[in-house]
Chain A
Amino acid sequence: MKHLRAAFLAPGVAVMAILFFAPLLIVLAYSLLTRGAYGGVVPPWTGESYARVFDPLYGEILYRSVWIAGVSTALCLALGFPLALYIARAARHKGLLLNLVMLPFWTSFLIRTYAWMFLLRDTGLINSMLLSLHVIREPLPLLFNTGAVILGLVYGYLPFMVLPLYATLEKLDPYLLDAAADLGAAPFVTVWRVVVPLAKPGMVAGCLLVFIPCLGAYLTPDLMGGGKTVMAGNLVQNQFTTARDWPFGAAVSLVLMVLVLVVTRALMRRTEELL
């Protein structure tokens, strides 16, 4: 019995060990070495890269990343919750609606981001339309700012919020809602006091699925932000490319990972208490 269990676990453990832990150890080793003159890493071992992470300049970038990822996550939740609720309670076409949520994944994220840039730029669809309708006289600065970055992130990660929310809301016992209504709760009160608390695990899962990739995003800030805002992801990317400082890039990504881990654990524990 015990042997059988081990045998079944072995492939999974092997995959995790080879594809997850081994690369992570390499990253850890890189972060503790010295920068090679033209990239790469050389001896001696040093903790200097970690000391640099706590420079206020980089702290500010981390803070900004957390802020942008937080706002994006909150917006995803605000948009995703009603949508998930609607799909879960829809009488018909549930499958179709869900497929529509996932439809964007059929195209590469890069191409969809470019599509947004075409919509938002000065001579793009939105500005040209508003200009020809004489709503505005000058094109609105829709692209290349923090707002555009948040828009791009919300757009990109909304499905990751909707799907787990849908999974929890779908399982919700409809009699509970009837009971709330029978006891005199208005529809909004029912949602707030019955649906939301019951959907909490889905909300936490959705928030994590959105917040974590947003925190490490580098494509969206680069393209939608026009390279004028640096997020942690860009900082890491830059260390491995133009700056050729692999140890520092590795250190920043590990610090980011620990940060995410701490937040995740705290959230998870709170959810467990709630259940």
Chain B
Amino acid sequence: MNRRIFLMSVAGAALGCTRGHKQRLNVYNWENYVASSTIPDFEREFDCRVRYATYGSAEEMLAKVMSGNSGWDVIFPSNSFVQPMHELDLLAQLDHKRLTNLSNLDARFEHPAWDPPLEWCVPYMHSATGIVYSKSVSRRPLAWADLWTDSYQRRVTMLDDPAEVFAACLRRLDQSINSGDPRALKQARDLAIQQKPLLRAYLNEEVRDQVVAGDVLAAQMWAQVAQVAMDNSANLAFSFPEEGFALYADNICILRESKHRELAYEFVNYLLRPNVAAAIAIDMRTATANGAARATLPRTQRENTILYPAPEVLARGEWFAPLPGPAQRLRDRYWTEIKSA
């Protein structure tokens, strides 16, 4: 490379960075949470660029934005992370006047338990934890307790997530899934240890193939992931356990650090449009918190009882809540004991 070409390329690179002064919005979302057209359409309509990246766990996201200068504008925390992130002063207070499409939210999400006035977040997608199972089993697992029976020897898995395993065990004990009571947690731990010899493994999404293949007969699983597995295999079914189960929702939030507030508001409002939200729900097979969008979905999806359980089923559900430090610590200790048992 001679000097002239080098200088030209430097000039070119410098120009490339400033060209057009198009605003750039930085969006950090869960994997598989927008339709293929969502981002390009937004870029076209609002004449901007979107830097879009995904994360696989809420902790990963939190660790990255905790510094307060992560460079992200819009993020999608789970319901139990909204309050903590607000307490850490990471979230921008939402101005409802700029979110004209907010009224499209489903009634169930107008005043959610984790942020009733929707001051910090806008509910986006929701689901629940239950049991996905093979129809070939002799007795259908309709309760968590069924996953403790010998007939599933080495053919059952639980999620590799302490909150989910404790939730199932605590519901078996008729305790809140968010319990911090040392006695209840100890009993829950004992239940989990008792189940461990029966377990094939603690697996998250990756169990999906094994349930479809028939290696695993029953698995603790998120309803939305189970629905995708069921789309691929007619031999699968899903149950919302009798003892009760965990509910969760992911939410749209604008970070306090955001330097593109205007564009961020436009983006949130854009995601709240019925047609945009519906396209995402259809593409990704997720359950949208947008009631107006749901109404426009094809009937099979709108009335899908796994994505949108009936009210009497939902009554058994309980939202994950943030845990105080000591409870979190005790749970981690018991989780390590379960894993080491």
Contact = CB atoms under 8 A, between A and B. Distances in A.
A107 interface: no
Interface string A19-47: 00000000000000001011110000000
A226 B63 contact: no
11 contacts: A35-B325, A37-B84, A37-B325, A39-B63, A61-B336, A122-B215, A226-B201, A229-B339, A234-B339, A242-B59, A245-B329
Nearest to B207: A226
Given A61-B340, A222-B160, A227 B203 contact: yes
Contacts of A229: 339
Contacts of B11: none
A175 B196 CA distance: 58
A244 B203 contact: no
Given A57-B337, A121-B210, A243-B328, A228 B60 contact: no
A243 B215 contact: no
A163 interface: no
A204 interface: no
A168 interface: no
Nearest to A226: B201
A178 interface: no
A226 B339 contact: no
A190 interface: no
B329 A226 contact: no
B154 A141 contact: yes
Given A122-B214, A234-B339, A241-B59, 11 more contacts: A35-B325, A38-B84, A38-B322, A61-B336, A227-B203, A227-B339, A228-B201, A241-B60, A242-B163, A244-B59, A244-B328
A228 B87 CA distance: 35
B252 to A, nearest CB: 20
A123 B161 contact: no
B333 interface: yes
Contacts of A116: none
B283 interface: no
- Looking at chain A's contact residues, the main secondary structure is loop
A65 B63 CA distance: 27
A174 B161 CA distance: 57
Interface residues of B, number: 39
Interface string A203-246: 00000000000000000001101111110001100111111110
A121 B215 CA distance: 8
Contacts of B200: 144, 226
B332 A238 contact: yes
A260 B328 CA distance: 30
Contacts of A57: 333, 336-337, 340
Contacts of B85: 38
Size category, A interface: 20 to 34
Contact of A241 (B57, B88, B213, B339): B57
Given A35-B325, A121-B215, A241-B59, A60 B203 contact: no
Nearest to A139: B215
B160 A227 contact: yes
Nearest to B85: A38
Contacts of B154: 141
Contacts of A228: 196, 199, 201-202, 339
A239 B201 CA distance: 21
Given A57-B336, A227-B203, A235-B336, A39 B66 contact: yes
A38 B57 contact: no
B214 A243 contact: no
Which residue among B161, B203, B328 has the maximum number of chain A CB atoms within 10 Å of its CB?
Answer: B328
A35 B88 CA distance: 14
A238 B202 CA distance: 14
A35 to B, nearest CB: 7
B48 interface: no
Which residue among B66, B84, B200, B339 has the maximum number of chain A CB atoms within 10 Å of its CB?
Answer: B339
A46 B73 CA distance: 35
B62 interface: yes
A242 B336 contact: no
B112 interface: no
B60 A227 contact: no
B341 to A, nearest CB: 9
A256 to B, nearest CB: 15
Interface string B106-118: 0000000000000
Contacts of A122: 210, 213-215
A40 B201 contact: no
B162 interface: yes
A239 B87 CA distance: 21
B325 A242 contact: no
Nearest to B88: A38
Contact of B59 (A39, A61, A144, A223): A39
B74 to A, nearest CB: 20
A50 to B, nearest CB: 16
A170 B324 CA distance: 60
